[in-house]
């Protein structure tokens, strides 16, 4: 795989970030209209196993915290799985967490749901978490920062460039 997209695909900010770091990736437009409805549909359109396609969700602290309110979380989990908020809260030492509403997620990130990407956001604005299951994979697919566009890259590179922390974010039971 060579660094960068093919010449017929417009680069996204996420792709530019990877290029500036010299990180090889593959950029794919799988739904130019952005009409898909779920991460599982995106995986099917990419013809990739749903366990290799990671969606990025915005999770917020819920209720009083011991100190000042913390940053929101960007949590990357496999397309076919759901965040287990109790498990995640326990892993992070938080009392309670909640999923951001679509409106909150879009306001906080400036990106449309379905196109939220830790690679497309200002580093440090969010705490970035990656489900620990990704540690067993060589490569993953994540949003390129635009609905209908995907970046495939090495898990190690994703962790380094986003500063992601591996945590158990989904339940052990498969869907």
Domain of residue 111, CATH code:
3.90.960.10
Q: How many domains does the chain have?
A: 1
| Domain contains 172 | no
Count the neighbouring beta carbons within 10 Å of the beta carbon of residue 60.
Answer: 18
pTM comes to 0.87
The Cα-based distances of 169 to 19, 141, 174 in angstroms read 29, 17, 13
| Domain contains 72 | yes
Q: Which domain covers residue 157, as residue numbers?
A: 13-167
Question: What was the pLDDT predicted at 7?
Answer: 37
| Domain contains 30 | yes
Please report which helix (H) or strand (E) contains residue 74, including its range.
strand 73-78
| Domain contains 175 | no
| Domain contains 97 | yes
| Domain contains 3 | no
Question: What was the pLDDT predicted at 175?
Answer: 54
| Domain contains 4 | no
| Domain contains 111 | yes
CB 18 within 8 A of CB 3: yes
Pairing of strands 54-61, 97-99: antiparallel
Q: What is the pLDDT along the chain (175 residues), one digit of tens a residue?
A: 434 333 356 789 999 999 999 999 999 988 877 676 677 888 888 888 889 999 999 999 986 554 456 789 999 999 989 999 999 999 999 999 999 999 999 999 999 998 999 999 887 889 999 999 999 999 999 999 998 899 999 999 999 999 999 999 998 766 5
């Amino acid at each position: 795989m060579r660094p960068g997209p093919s010449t017929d695909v417009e680069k996204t900010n996420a792709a530019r970030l990877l290029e500036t770091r010299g990180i090889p990736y593959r950029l794919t437009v799988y739904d130019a209209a952005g009409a898909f409805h779920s991460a599982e549909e995106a995986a099917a359109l990419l013809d990739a196993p749903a366990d290799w396609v990671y969606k990025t969700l915005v999770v917020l602290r819920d209720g009083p915290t011991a100190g000042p309110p913390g940053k929101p979380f960007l949590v990357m989990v496999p397309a076919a799985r759901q965040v287990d908020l109790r498990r995640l809260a326990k892993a992070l030492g938080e009392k309670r967490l909640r999923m951001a509403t679509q409106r909150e997620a879009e306001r906080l990130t400036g990106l449309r749901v379905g196109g939220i990407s830790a690679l497309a956001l200002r580093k440090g604005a969010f705490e970035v978490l990656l489900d620990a299951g990704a540690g067993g994979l060589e490569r993953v697919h994540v949003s390129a920062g635009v609905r209908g566009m995907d970046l495939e890259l090495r898990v190690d590179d994703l962790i380094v460039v986003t500063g992601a922390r591996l945590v158990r974010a989904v339940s052990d039971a498969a869907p």
